[in-house]
Each structure stands twice: as C-alpha cells, then as structure tokens.
Amino acid sequence: MESTKKDRHMSADFLDEEKLMQATEAQSLGHFIKRFTINPKNKRKNSGESGMYISKEVVEKRNKKLAPKAPESKEKCKLILPDGTEVELSILEGTLGPKMLDIRDLYAKTGMFTFDPGYTASGSCVSAITYIDGGKGQLLYRGYKIEDLAANCTFIETCFLLLYGELPTASDLADFEERVKDEMLVHEKLKDFFKGFNPKAHPMAIMCSVIGALSSFYHEDLDIEDPKQRERVAIQMIAKFPTLAAFSFRTSMGLPMVYPRRDLSYTENFLHMMFSDPMDQEAVVEPVMTEALDKILLLHADHEQNASTSTVRIAGSSKANPFACISAGIASLWGPAHGGANQACIEMLQEIGEAANIPKYIEKAKDKNDPFRIMGFGHRVYKNFDPRATVMAKMCKKVVETMDSKNQEMLSIALELERIALEDDYFISRKLYPNVDFYSGIVLQELSIPTNMFTVIFALARTIGWVCQWKEMMSEDTVKIGRPRQLYVGEKCREFVAMNER
C-alpha cells in the first residue's frame, strides 16, 4: 500500500537522518519516545533541543569557564630541616579559606613526604563548587549561602547551579528539567538486575550494584575526554538515580515497579515511584512532604571533599567509567561513620523513649566508660553550628503538624534533648551543637521511608555533588591519578629462607 503524503512527512521528520538507529545511544529513551507523543503538553516548541543538540563549542566554552585553576603564589615560606638546610615553599591563597603550603615539589627538594592520615590537613584538589567555614557555620554552593538556597530554590534548581555555576533563568530551568525527565527512564534490561538480589538485600548493596551496572550500558561509545559527553553523563546520573532507588525499594517490598511521570517534578516523581498504590491511581503525596524531602536533598547536595566525594575523585582520576566512580562513592557513603548518622539519631531517640529519661542519658553520654553517645550533635567540620540543621529544624517543625502521634512524641523528645544539651556546659565547652542529621531522620521516618533507605536518600542527594566534582576534575588541563604515600613501619629487607631451613 502506497504511503500518504502525511505518512511520508512523519517518516522524514521522525525516522530519517539516522535518528531512529541512534535513538537509544545518541538520544535518551525519554526523548526518543516523546517524539511520538500525541499529548500537546509534551510537544515542546523545539522538541529536539532539550539540551541534546547544544553545540560542542558552547559546551567547551562553559567547561573552560568552570575549570578550576590553582592561583599563582604571592608568598613564600622557609622550612628548616634538622641539618640546617632551608627549603623555600610557596603559599597558595584561594578566594576563601585558610592559605595552603604548596608541597608538590617537597620531595624533590627534601627527599621527604608529609604524614597526614585521613588527609585532615591536606588539600587534595582545587575546586570552585562548595565552600565550608566550620568556625562560622557557613556552607556555600557556588558562592550562595545554603540558607538562601533552601529558602528560595528547589533541589533541581540547585542541581543546575552546581552543574553550571550560575542560577538558572525560568527558561533555563524549564529546559534543564525537561532534559532530566528525558533521562529518567532506564533500559528495561537493567530491571532484570533486580530479580537476582536476595529479597533481604540492603538497598545500598543494590544501589552499588545497579549504578555500577549502568557502565555496561554506557561504556564503549563514552568518551570522558569530551566535555559534551561528560555533561550528558551528569544529567543521566541525576535523572536515573531516583528511578533506580525507587526500584530497589519496591523490589525489597515485593511491590511492582513504577515509572516516572512527565507531569511531576523531580522530587514528586521520586515519591510517586516509591509509594504509588497500584490499586489507587488517585492517591497523591502531601505537598508538605514533597517540600520536606526536597529540602533534605538540597541540604545534602554537596559538602566539599568528604570521604565519598574523595572516593569518586580518586576512582575518576584513573579515567574509570563515571558510573563505576559514582558506585564507589555510594560504597563509601554506606559506611556508618559517613552516611548512617540520621538512622543512628532515630535509633537513639527510640532508645531514650520519653523526655523524662533524657537527664539519665545525658549523664550516660558524659561517662567515658559508657558506650552510649548522643547522636546528631557535633560535626567534624562545623565547630560552631551546622547551618543545614537550622533549616532542617524549621522544616521538621512544619512537618510535625501532619505527623502521627508517635512521631510527634519523638520530635518532642528531640526538642527537649536539644534544649537540655545546649544549656549543659559539657556540650557547650565542646561545641557540640545539633547537626542536620538530628532532624532529617524524623522527617524521613514521617515520610514512611524505612531506616535502611535513609542512606539511599543521602546518596540520591549527593549524586549531583559527586558528578559535579568528577566533572570538574576531568575539566582540568592535567588529571593526575591519585597516589597517596605511606609511612612504612614493616620489616626491612630480609634474606629469603628456604622451606627446609625454617
């Protein structure tokens, strides 16, 4: 049967120019399927340009602007060695923060390395993304105070800021959201991975695996030296994480997987995919819950060179697949010393049980011989207060109006614990103030998110930070592979002893 003129036009518009063959490679699944929609709401004025066909020149210019560079040294200092030798070292100064000694040529000048377990006094990179002043209780994303962003921006708007360095215009944001939605679908083959996990598998174990598995779908044709491809990887990572996180939750619960919807926001989509009732299509998530989760995501989006971020950077420095690098970051975040603090806060409040028990537990916390510790107070970086905690406390109190009585009781215990602790010299002298985890756990629990999913939520939030840090590192002129040194205290060179002589 001969095709009509209309049919031929559609074929030329949608299927020609090799676009169909490249649909699952050069285009996102969401963008590809959207081209055939009959819903006028999804027919953007320029449907093919939701960021897919931005010129390489524009991306390279943007990449060059965001690439960090170490400042020129304007000061010098002298290091005097035990034998009296004087060595001159350069001093570097950024736009904010303490000055740093440049020891890159220290070994060449002295034959010595520095010893700094945990890198607590070493700068491992130059970065322009996030800045923390622990003494002032200050956190900046691209120069903007976290309090201002939390009061005026959504998480997805903050993602744009971290990724591109500037706050978006209304049209920028609309286009960015469209690009993210285009990438939220995952290959159906990836769903098969979930069938192989033990039903009792921890969600973080699942996320480590499936995020790493994305590298098997995006590897052969991925050129991480191309800034345009790096930008697309960043958006894919932001977009696919909530879908896969929700899939892991639904799998552990034995519930059918739910797909994202184009009419929902980023955070609404995640909650929809998590909690959609297959028997009640009319059910909606309360707006205050969406707002609360959005705040949690925004507050945890990035936090300088922490353990998981440094893990992503070191993995990336070997030019590894970026999805594998993010998987490494997830594994690092999974550790209870890093990402499990809000879960520990909930468990602590449950152990305290009621406000009348607080004085007893305060004394237990002061006892060095007692294993009990007040969780959610103090921070390795913030020595005054955690600015994120102030925002989260307000959000928590707003959420409490919709809480069930059980969680209202938990919040009342938390508030009373905070009041007593902040009036106690033991906590004041040690500068132990509530941190963001103290309240976020209560909010997540009210959202009906199981405690073993708390760290997954943290990872969902931190994905934008990880991928921006990876992308920033890859934009530098020279990417040096991470290679820490050690202070060896083992045996000196020994003579080998044959088996019959031992």
* SS3 at position 83: coil
Asked if 379 is an active-site residue, the reply is yes
Residue with tokens 């996320």: 207
* SS3 at position 109: helix
Extract the tokens encoding 394: 């307000």
The long-range contacts involving 137-141, CB below 8 angstroms and separated by at least 24 positions, are 137/382, 137/384, 137/385, 137/386, 137/387, 138/387, 139/303, 139/387, 139/388, 140/96, 141/301, 141/302
Residue among 131, 129, 130, 180 nearest 154 (CA): 180
- Per 3-state DSSP, the chain is made up of helix, strand and coil in percentages (nearest 5) of 55, 5, 40
Q: How far from 83 is each of 79, 80, 90, 101, 177, CA to CA, in Å?
A: 11, 8, 21, 21, 62
Asked if 338 is an active-site residue, the reply is yes
Asked if 300 is an active-site residue, the reply is no
Catalytic: which of 102, 133, 338, 424?
Answer: 338
Q: Angle 100-91-68 (CA atoms, 0-180°, nearest 5)?
A: 65
In sequence order, which ranges of 29-154 are alpha helices (DSSP H)?
29-34, 56-66, 106-110, 146-152
Extract the tokens encoding 12: 């030329």
Cα dihedral 45, 47, 48, 52 in deg (nearest 10):
100
Extract the tokens encoding 192: 């098969």
Catalytic: which of 302, 303, 379, 386?
Answer: 379
Q: How far apart are CA 205 and CA 194, in angstroms?
A: 11
Q: Return the bridge partners of 295, or none.
A: none
The continuous run of DSSP H or E covering 358 comes out as helix 358-366
Cβ(187)–Cβ(247) below 8 Å: no
Residue with tokens 């679908």: 185
Catalytic residues: 338, 379, 437
